[in-house]
Amino acid sequence: MHDHKKTILIGCGTGRCGTVSLSRLVNSGEGAVCTHERRPLLPWVLDEDLLLERIRYFEGSDSTLVGDVAYFHLPYLERLLEALPEARVICLERDRKEVIESFLWWTNWQNRWQDHDGIEWVKNPVWDLTYPKFDMALSKSEAIGEYWDHYHAQIRALAEGHPGRVRIFEIEALNSREGQDRIFDFLGVQEARRKHPHQNRHNTRKATTRPASKEEAFEWMCRVSTVAKAVASATAPGGTLILVDDQMFGDLVGSGRTVLPFLERNGEYWGPPEDDDTAISELQRLRKSGADFIAFGWPTFWWLDHYGKFHDHLRATYECVLRTEHVVIFSLGKLQP
């Protein structure tokens, strides 16, 4: 990486195409900080205030390479490239049919590509706003296909207009050292600062559980809404909440609060802890850095059994301010007497 200047990476891709793995590849390098879908999320209809926030974030970073990878960057790229002369754009591309099939599985009973009344599909008030709509499509599958077509037509036009600053990589580039090096070369990362983490083929996250029917999906959203209301009543607005949810709630819980995943690295979810001692150490680190509460949603209640020593530490050290069938919340500022 060139020591005399900062490199800014703006990553993108339709989603279900390896964006998580790209962020982790870049983030593994010395001196680099690269997040995935950094909050606040960007709505597909360009928001001037959030655009300026994103510009300030990139400009204000002290890292020699700072980046964020998210599908919703596409409508903002032209303006970001104009405002940030040092920025480079990487777009990941995956086979059209594979993306459609993966999205159909991933979104299950949600439809983020067409406006709907919430009867056939479950509305998601957060994520629905971050995708474009293709209401003339005859089905959800067709709408996702139109999304893929629109996305790659836009990024190819952008690459032609900004040669040397915008590059498209096939997802397979993430699965080999040669491909990873081509990404590092594009970003100007020196060989001594590169790391080559092993990537799982196809590089797409999988959730442990998905609603199996529309009825289950509606029930799921109702339970998440219950958790969100409980968190709002038991925690202070403007505070910092550690949310243990196995990435199942997205941004539906913790509105008005800074929400951290657990485990956490640069604001990103880093998977479950290796053992109790790791969990305790990470909790203490986040508490010292300002975390006020830790909440466990029902999908992660298994943690409280599996990490028994960690659970004992929570109960012995902090006050449990709420315990229901859907959520357990500890106040990290209220120590047990």
Query: What radius of gyration, in Å, describes the C-alpha atoms of the chain?
Result: 21
Domain ranges of the chain: 7-193, 214-335
pLDDT score, position 39: 85
- Asked if residue 206 has pLDDT above 50, the reply is no
Residue scoring higher pLDDT (5 or 17)? 17
Supply the pLDDT for residue 30.
87
The two most distant CA atoms of the chain are separated, in Å, by 65
**What's residue 211's pLDDT?**
66
Q: Is the pTM of this model over 0.85?
A: no
CATH, range 7-193: 3.40.50.300
Query: Out of 230-239, 259-268, 285-294, which region has the weakest mean confidence (pLDDT)?
Result: 259-268
Residue 36 has pLDDT above 50, yes or no: yes
Judge contact between 222 and 118, C-beta under 8 A: no
Residues 145-189 pLDDT 10s: 999 999 999 999 999 999 999 999 999 999 999 999 999 999 999
For 138-147, write each residue's pLDDT tens digit. 999 999 999 9
Q: Which of 42-51, 192-201, 226-235, 306-315 has the lowest mean pLDDT?
A: 192-201
What is the average pLDDT value for the chain, to the nearest integer? 90
How much is the average pLDDT of 116-137?
93
- Asked whether 267 and 249 are in contact (CB, 8 A), the reply is no
Q: Which residue has the tokens 């509105």?
A: 255
CB-CB contact of 111 with 81 (8 Å) = no
Measured CA to CA in angstroms, residue 28 lies from 10, 21, 178, 210, 294 at distances of: 16, 10, 16, 30, 27
Q: What pLDDT score does 199 carry?
A: 57
